[in-house]
Copies of this chain bind each other. A is one copy, B any other.
Amino acid sequence: MLRLQLLLVNLGAKFVGVKLGILGFGTVGTGTVQLLQDREGRHPLLQEIEIYRVGVRSLDQPRAVKLPEGVLTTDLEAIVNDPAVDIVVEVMGGLEPARSLILKAISNGKHVVTANKAVIARFGAEIFTNANQAGVYVMLEAAVGGGIPVIQPLKQSLSVNRIQAVTGIINGTTNYILTRMQTEGSNFNDVLADAQRLGYAEADPTADVDGLDAGDKIAILASLAFGGRIHLEDVYCEGIRQVSKTDIAYAEKLGFVIKLLAIAKRQTKDNSKLSVRVHPTLVPKAHPLASVNGVYNAILVEGEPIGQVMFFGPGAGAGATASAVSSDILNLVAILKTTTTNPNPLLSCGHDDYCQIAPMAELVTRFYARFLTKDQPSVIGNLGTCFGKHGVSLESVVQTGVHGELAEIVVVTHDVREGDFRLALAEISTLEAIESIPSLLRVL
On A, residues with C-beta under 8 Å from B are 31, 34-35, 40-44, 46, 124-125, 128-129, 131-132, 135-139, 141, 147-149, 152-153, 155-162, 167, 222-223, 226-231, 234-236, 242-244, 246-247, 250-251, 253-254, 256, 258, 261, 267-268, 271-277, 279-284, 287-289, 291, 303-314, 317-320, 322-324, 326-327, 329-331, 334-335, 338, 340-341, 343-344, 346-358, 360, 362-364, 366, 368, 370, 396, 398, 400, 410, 412, 438-439, 441-444
User: Which residues of B are found within 8 Å of A327, using beta-carbon distances?
Assistant: 156-160
Protomer copies? 2
User: Which residues of B are found within 8 Å of A400, using beta-carbon distances?
Assistant: 250
A92 to chain B, nearest CB (A): 20
- 12 contacts across the A-B interface (CB closer than 8 A): A31-B305, A128-B348, A128-B352, A137-B348, A149-B156, A157-B327, A158-B327, A230-B357, A231-B357, A254-B410, A288-B312, A307-B313
* Cα distance, A1 to B410, chains bound together (Å): 65
A341 touches B135 (CB 8 A): yes
Partner of A129, one of B41, B230, B352, B438: B352
* Cα distance, A261 to B22, chains bound together (Å): 41
A226 touches B355 (CB 8 A): yes
A312 touches B314 (CB 8 A): no
User: Which residues of B are found within 8 Å of A254, using beta-carbon distances?
Assistant: 368, 396, 398, 410, 412
A228 touches B351 (CB 8 A): yes
A305 touches B35 (CB 8 A): yes
